[in-house]
Amino acid sequence: MQANPTRRARFTIADVARRAGVSVGTVSNVLSNPRAVRAQTRRRVEVAIAELNYRPNRIAQSLSRQHTNIVGMVVPDISNPFFSELMLGVEHVLNAADYAVVFGNAHDDAAKQRRYFDGFRERRVDGMVIAITPGTEIEDVASVGADLPVVMVDRTLSGWHGDEVVGDNAAGMEMAVAHLYQLGHRRLALVNGETRLSTAAQRSEGFERALRARGLSPVLLSVGSFTLESGFAQAAQLFSMAQRPTGICAGNDLLAMAVIAAANEYGLRVPEDLSVVGYDDITYARLVSPSLTTVRQSAYSMGTEAARLLMERISGRRSSDRVTVLRPEFVVRRSAGPAP
């Protein structure tokens, strides 16, 4: 049977998004909340809608206003135990409230993270918990927040006006510097993640501020990513210096563990020749040799608090924005000792 040549194809919201060169969420915002979209972008979407003669699916729009009891969560790197513990905290609270959680791993890729944002909205999740990846644009998160409740966790963005749960990163790093200083260390370096991320930037700020308060300058402010591979490479650079540091503060525990591994490769004893302090206190921190002295911020507690804030929003119990800052603790183990 031949298709009716006069029958017109039914275009979808994804077709409009492709024609306009924007995300599905942006098209959705133009349809439901046009003032949330910049005028130039809004005009581009309106032109695409007219060209395709797109008609929104009113049934789907009606369904989207009902609760699905599903929450989406996106993390940058599920292989990092910190984010695994964060996810467990979110899941614990939401499961108790009879909600299912759908997880997305962005693999530190902002484009992949954006696809998760669009996919979760298309599946009509009731809200989202987001730990952003490097390179995230504020427009991407704001677009999601215009459609549904969002809580940002661990990492935040300049210009975000909404709920967030973060740690006091500067204060935590100041604790690390103070501990090494008390042990007699004066040549200190920082091994860090990407300073585009609020966590890395704030930990660097706390490190430098603590050194200035003691009349010191850093041996080096090293920057990479929050991974084992990056930590090993940054440590190798430090160990090749003529005046290497006697103490290293790491932006997270993975970096700290990589520094210890690199020290072994270079014949340096920890803590006799080199002291190392981590950040996060992930489960493995106490299991490495020597056990890791670190700044503890509970990823699980962050997750439970983020989920609690999200449930307040979804249920309508609260409409005002809330920022929760969790105070870190310092945990002394065996990877830091007196300066050589």
For the stretch 66-85, pLDDT in tens is: 788 999 999 999 999 999 99
| Range in 18-27, 250-259, 287-296 the model is least confident about | 18-27
Share of the chain above pLDDT 90, in %: 80
Higher pLDDT, 11 or 199: 199
Q: What is the pLDDT of residue 220?
A: 97
How many domains, the chain?
3
Residue 311 and residue 194 share a domain: no
Residue 286 and residue 193 share a domain: yes
Share of the chain above pLDDT 70, in %: 92
Residue 206 and residue 131 share a domain: no
Q: Which domain holds residue 251?
A: 169-297
Mean pLDDT of 219-237: 97
DSSP class of 217? -
Residue 230 and residue 159 share a domain: no
137 — pLDDT class (breaks 50, 70, 90): very high
SS3 303: helix
Within a domain: 335: no
Residue 140 and residue 96 share a domain: yes
Within a domain: 245: yes
Q: Euclidean distance between the first and final Cα of the chain, in Å? A: 86
| Range in 34-43, 121-130, 161-170, 257-266 the model is least confident about | 34-43
Residue 75 and residue 159 share a domain: yes
Q: Residue 301: CB partners within 8 Å, gap ≥ 6?
A: 89, 326
| Range in 18-22, 35-39, 249-253 the model is least confident about | 35-39
Within a domain: 337: no
Q: From the CA atom positions of the chain, what is the Rg in Å?
A: 24
Within a domain: 331: no
Residue 269 and residue 153 share a domain: no
Residue 277 and residue 267 share a domain: yes
pLDDT mean across residues, the chain: 92
* 31 pLDDT more than 90: no
Backbone angles phi, psi at 115, to 5 degrees: -65, -35
SS3 283: helix
Distance CA 257, CA 51 (A): 56
Q: Quick one: which H or E segment has residue 266?
A: none
Over the range 160-183, which residues count as b (16 or more CB within 10 Å of their CB) and which as e? Answer: bebbbbbbbbbbbbbbbbebbbeb
304 — pLDDT class (breaks 50, 70, 90): very high
Residue 187 and residue 141 share a domain: no
Q: What token pair was written down for 249? A: 């503060």
Domain with 21 in it: what CATH number?
A: 1.10.260.40
Within a domain: 186: yes
Higher pLDDT, 64 or 304: 304
Q: Residue 164: CB partners within 8 Å, gap ≥ 6?
A: 151, 152, 153, 156, 323, 324
Within a domain: 84: yes
Residue 192 and residue 156 share a domain: no
Mean pLDDT of 153-178: 97
Domain with 79 in it: what CATH number?
A: 3.40.50.2300
Please report the sign of the dihedral spanned by the C-alpha atoms of residue 181, residue 187, residue 190, residue 191: negative
Q: What is the pLDDT of residue 57?
A: 59
150-153 β-sheet, strand order: 100-105, 70-75, 127-130, 150-153, 163-167, 323-326
Within a domain: 4: no
14 — pLDDT class (breaks 50, 70, 90): confident
Mean pLDDT of 309-326: 95
Distance CA 338, CA 336 (A): 7
Over the range 209-245, which residues count as b (16 or more CB within 10 Å of their CB) and which as e? Answer: ebbeeeebebbbebbbbbbbebbbbbbeebbeeeebb
Within a domain: 328: no
42 — pLDDT class (breaks 50, 70, 90): confident
Residue 179 and residue 282 share a domain: yes
* 217 pLDDT more than 60: yes
Residue 44 and residue 28 share a domain: yes
Q: Quick one: which H or E segment has residue 203?
A: helix 198-213
